[in-house]
Amino acid sequence: MEACSRTYLIAEKRNNFALAMLIGVTISILVLILSEATWAQTQKEKKLVLSLQQLIEMAIAKSPDMGETLSEISANQSDLDQVKAAYYPQLESTAVVGPVGDAKRPVIRGTRIVDPSPDTIGAFGRIDFTVAQPLYTFGKLSNRREAATRGVRAKELKLEEKKNEIVLRVKELFYGLVLARAGVDAANDADSFFDDARRRMNRLLELGSTNVSESDLYRVDAYRASTVHSRAEAEKGAKVAYFALKSLVDLSPDAEFEPAEKVLPMKEEGQADLEDYIRKAYGERPEFKQLDEALAAQKSQIEALQSDRYPSFFVALEGSLAGAPGRETLHNAYIPDEFNHADIGIIGGIKWNFDFGISKAKVDKEKAEYERLHYTKASAKLNIPIQVAKSYQEVKEWKVAVGAYQQAAVASRKWVVTALTNFDMGVGAADDMLRAIEKYGENQGKYLESLFNYNLSVAQLEYAVGGNPSVSGAVGSK
């Protein structure tokens, strides 16, 4: 009986131990799952905070246009390296192997010369080489080197142009995002006034006031419709700008960010004269510099092709080595042996190519391209000042608008507060209160829109004058 009890106790302990193990494993799994979910939620809630300058740097680093232009620079740099290498000696060699009949020296037997060569086939090998060093080429090399150098510089300036375009695009989207989010907040602010107005009307209706009627409640919904629509429009704009910025800086789909700047900047400082901006555009705009470099490169290319009509002087080291094991050689200077020899020597020479119109046609083609670039530059000189003047006047226009609508927004908010107070005191009409709220929302929206257009016109002016890719600029932001 004791043995049975002991066995039962042991089995029970084993069952309890197994149950405890199962509970422990289950709890561990639950803790792991909860920890993973908490970590994922924390990561989801943790967002990047990126400033405008950081977004610009990320967009430049990720831009495929920048990569494409860098590849073009590398290609032009390779052209320049080829021209530089042409100043050094150039080695040209040819090696051949093949079958050849075996041969022995002829012998004299009596009055006859007898050829004792066997009727067998052997092999031979031969290498010919020339090491040529150009001495004077009438500008063939120097002009091509200048053209290639200018070509590299033109592509580097194109890189600056792409940077400026990216900066402008990022600023447009960034300002649009900040504007849209501020617009949502402004619409919510105006909507809260409508809710406040409805509460006041309901309270006065309950008290039996003669200053309000049931129809005034319908006016609330009638007036607030534009506010609701403005909020929906701002929310849409915020989502579009946010998605576009994420794409531009190549953020992963699950990555989230917040703009470091929550309000659009406004820097109070004077503008220079329009002529100063135009003068700066002529001197700093990458497109102008790029055209200057392209014109200089094209001119050097024309001169290089014209130099091709003249001879080139050179000095060279020429050599030839050949051997055929199955053939004996005479070692006689008067009787050359094409299959057994070792010759080397220094020579000087002249190389001159003639054709009947090919060179002239090439020169004419490059001259036509040179003229095209001249017309392109002339067109830019006409159009870029117009672009500068347009952006310059828009900066002035929107700067005035910002001040006017900011003052109007402050005044209309005071109007709202006064109208609400008068309505509570029974000396103000519901319609006056609702019109004040509507006007406040309208003026606040116009103020934000003017601030956006001001910052955008500043960015466009910076771009028009060839501004550097940074946040601040000529009229800039704080």
Query: Which pLDDT value is given to residue 377?
Result: 92
- Residue in this structure with the two tokens 């150039």, named with its chain if needed: 90
The predicted pLDDT at position 347 comes to 94
User: Buried (b) or exposed (e) across 160-194, using 16+ Cβ within 10 A?
Assistant: bbbbbebbbbbbbbbbbbbbbbbbbebbeebbebb
Rounded mean pLDDT of 138-162? 94
Please identify which residue in the block is written with the tokens 């109070």.
Answer: 268
CATH topology for 53-87+137-311+352-464 is Outer membrane efflux proteins (OEP) (1.20.1600)
Predicted TM-score of the model (pTM)? 0.77
Phi, psi for 322 (deg, rounded to 5): -145, 150
> Beta strands 341-351 and 312-323: pairing type?
antiparallel
99: number of CA atoms within 13 Å, CB side?
A: 3
Instruction: Specify the pLDDT at position 166.
Output: 94
- Averaged pLDDT, 117-137: 92
Helix (H) or strand (E) holding 179: helix 140-206
Kindly tell me if the per-residue pLDDT of 162 is higher than 80.
Answer: yes
| Tens digits of residue pLDDT in 244-273 | 999 999 988 888 999 988 888 777 666 788
Please report, for residues 270, 296, 303, the alpha-carbon distance to residue 377 in angstroms, rounded to integers and kept in the order given. Answer: 31, 13, 21
* Residue 404: how many other CB atoms lie within 10 Å: 14
Q: Who wins on pLDDT, 85 or 333? A: 85
The per-residue pLDDT of the chain, averaged, comes to: 85
Return d(Cα 260, Cα 49) in angstroms, integer: 6
Q: How far apart are alpha carbons 262 and 267 in whole angstroms?
A: 16
How do strand 121-136 and strand 112-114 relate by DSSP bridges?
Answer: unpaired
Backbone angles phi, psi at 277, to 5 degrees: -65, -40
Nearest to 248 by CA among 71, 69, 56: 56
Residue corresponding to tokens 């534009």: 226
- 228 CB burial (10 A radius; 0-12, 13-18, 19+): middle
DSSP 113: E
Place of tokens 């580097």: 156
Strand partners, 97: 125
- Close Cβ partners of 355 (under 8 Å, ≥ 6 residues apart): none
Chain centroid to CA 346: 54
The contacts of residue 399 (CB under 8 Å, 6+ apart) are 454
Q: pLDDT tier at 465 (50, 70, 90 boundaries)? A: very high
Alpha carbon distance 131, 317 (integer Å): 5
Q: Answer yes or no: is pLDDT of 204 > 90.
A: no
Q: Reduced to 3 states, what is the DSSP secondary structure of residue 340?
A: coil
CA 117 to chain CA centroid, nearest Å: 75
C-alpha 143/C-alpha 55 separation (Å) is: 43
Looking at this protein, which amino acid is placed at residue 290? Q
Q: With CA atoms as reference, report the closest residue to 321 among 306, 304, 343, 299.
A: 343
Q: What is the pLDDT of residues 64-122, one digit of tens each?
A: 999 999 999 999 999 999 999 999 999 999 999 999 988 888 887 777 877 777 888 98
Tokens representing 9? 């106790």
Classify strands 48-50 and 257-259 as parallel, antiparallel or unpaired. parallel
Contact between 166 and 66 under an 8 Å Cβ cutoff? The reply is yes
How many angstroms separate the Cα of 165 from the Cα of each of 152, 364, 438, 452, 463? 20, 35, 39, 19, 8
Rounded to the nearest 5°, which phi and psi values hold at 176? Answer: -65, -40
Q: For the sheet containing 312-323, what is the strand order?
A: 90-101, 121-136, 312-323, 341-351
**pLDDT tens per residue across span 334-392:** 888 889 999 999 999 999 998 888 989 999 999 999 999 999 999 999 999 999 999 99
First to last CA, the chain: 94
Q: Is the pLDDT of residue 6 over 50?
A: no
Q: What is the pLDDT, as a whole number, of residue 322? A: 94
Q: Which residue has the tokens 């009307």?
A: 201
Instruction: Output the pLDDT for position 29.
Output: 59
Strands 107-109 and 312-323, sheet pairing: unpaired
310 DSSP 8-state letter: S
Average pLDDT rounded to a whole number, residues 197-224: 84
> Can you tell me the mean pLDDT for 428-451?
90
Q: Mean pLDDT check: name the lowest of 11-25, 294-308, 396-410.
A: 11-25
Residue keyed to tokens 């320049």: 80
- Nearest CA-CA partner of 124 in 383, 328, 284, 274: 328
Give the residue among 391, 477, 469, 460 at the shortest CA–CA distance from 164. Answer: 469
Residues 457-467 as b/e (b if ≥16 CB within 10 A, e otherwise) read bbbbbbbbbbb
